[in-house]
Amino acid sequence: MPKTTGHGDREKYLVARLAKKIPSIGSFGNRAVPFGIGDDSAVLRPSGQSEFVVSCDFSLEGVHFRGATHPAVSIGYRCLVRAASDIVAMGACPRYFLVALALPAEKTPPAAKGANWLDSFSSGMGRAARELGMLLIGGDITVNQSVSICITVIGELPAGLAISRAGARPGHLIYVTGTLGAAQLGLEILLRGSTRKPAPAKLLQPHLYPRIPVGFAQAVARRRIPSAMMDISDGLSTDLSRMCESSRTGARLFAAQIPQVDAHRPALDPLQLALHGGEDYSLLFTAPPRRAPLLRAIAAKTKTRITHIGEITRSRKILLVDSNGHESPLEPRGWDPFRVKNQ
């Protein structure tokens, strides 16, 4: 693994332990990644007319997860999915990742006998890597008081097919994949407990182990269907405002059409969860109306739920239209790094 910090043997041991549970390029590399883990850097050999897509993403204890609340296996799973979501939202095929990991010494083996934090973390990350078809190609391991993870993800796609968030045009339809607010509901239940039976395992799933529509994103990108696409990481209201700002447009959303969860708690409003709840990693995208039939066909083929929730407007306002046709401005009130801490 490129650049392990500190005394050789301990870090080398931790890297080996990590790589054991995560699909990795190994010590010898392959045709596309000709150097293995253990050198200063990973080398990537582009195949034919492809482009690489790169993004990096923090997952920090106390900000993005709580050490006492979130299981290590979920932390490992989520941080990779969360990072991969950014390259999937460009239409790219996720390929490789680097992990920079800082953690307290007591979270590493063999401090605790049997199961330990690093092994569980690696299992979760390995599961996500297998589901996404990604290979670990490098990183950095060091010690810190709290857990800090920074994941760099690299995807590949045919040249010229990347979908930006800036291409939405007036008259284009706005779509989302999946159900919105499910991850936020899972977080609320995790932090405050459920008032309903059955046990909330199924309700926690979208928060602890989010899934992203990889096949759908690639299929629509290959056919150049979306005019703009991004992932909903910080909540629909915030991410739609970013898309509209990048595209220099506005939008009208139809509240009744937004795919919402059953809130399971009287205090939670499904529409508010859907509008402002973060971390669903659903796709938000726009397309000209004439592409609607092909979109539906691809959604059916890739078993992805898509919902038409609004339309792009020339006016720069973002409006929410209720079931009576009443319009009100939609403020960006999505995820805030302080919120988890302050709860």
Q: Using CB under 8 A, which residues numbered 96 to 115 contact its own copies? A: 96, 98, 100, 102
Q: Please identify which residue in 63, 271, 292, 294 interacts with its own copies, judged by CB under 8 A.
A: 63
Query: How many residues contact its own copies, by CB under 8 A?
Result: 73
Nearer Cβ to its own copies (203/220): 220
- Nearby residues of 118 by Cβ (< 8 Å), 6 or more positions away: 14, 17, 18, 72, 103, 107, 108, 109
Q: Which residue is associated with the tokens 């006492």?
A: 68
The two three-digit tokens of residue 92, written as one number: 């790219």
Interface segment toward its own copies; rule CB under 8 A; list 69-77, 92-100, 256-264, 308-316? 92-100
Q: Please identify which residue in 22, 73, 86, 277 interacts with its own copies, judged by CB under 8 A.
A: 86
The burial of 124, by beta-carbon neighbours within 10 Å (0-12 exposed, 13-18 middle, 19 or more buried), is given as: buried
What radius of gyration, in Å, describes the C-alpha atoms of the chain? 21
DSSP characters for 244-255? HHHHT-EEEEEG
**131 forms part of the interface with its own copies (CB under 8 A):** no
DSSP structural state of residue 28: T
Q: What binding mask, one character per residue, do residues 308-337 give for its own copies by CB under 8 A, x or -?
A: ------------------------x-xxxx
Residue 232 Cβ vs its own copies, minimum distance, rounded to whole Å: 11
CB burial readout 89-123, b (16+ within 10 A) else e: bbbbbbbbbbbbbbbeeebbeeeeeeebbbbbbbb
Report the SS3 class of residue 29: coil
Nearer Cβ to its own copies (39/269): 39
Nearer Cβ to its own copies (45/196): 45
- Which residues sit opposite 335 in a β-bridge? none
Residue 36 Cβ vs its own copies, minimum distance, rounded to whole Å: 9
Residue 314 Cβ vs its own copies, minimum distance, rounded to whole Å: 21
Residue 187 Cβ vs its own copies, minimum distance, rounded to whole Å: 15
Q: What binding mask, one character per residue, do residues 144-183 give for its own copies by CB under 8 A, x or -?
A: xx--x-x-xxxx---x--x-xxx-----------------
Report the SS3 class of residue 156: strand
**38 forms part of the interface with its own copies (CB under 8 A):** yes
Query: Which residues in the 246-305 window bind its own copies by CB under 8 A?
Result: 246
The two three-digit tokens of residue 34, written as one number: 């000709």
Neighbours of 47 (CB within 10 A): 9
Nearer Cβ to its own copies (153/263): 153
Neighbours of 75 (CB within 10 A): 24
Query: Which residues in the 196-255 window bind its own copies by CB under 8 A?
Result: 230-231, 233-234, 238, 241-242, 246
Residue 146 Cβ vs its own copies, minimum distance, rounded to whole Å: 8
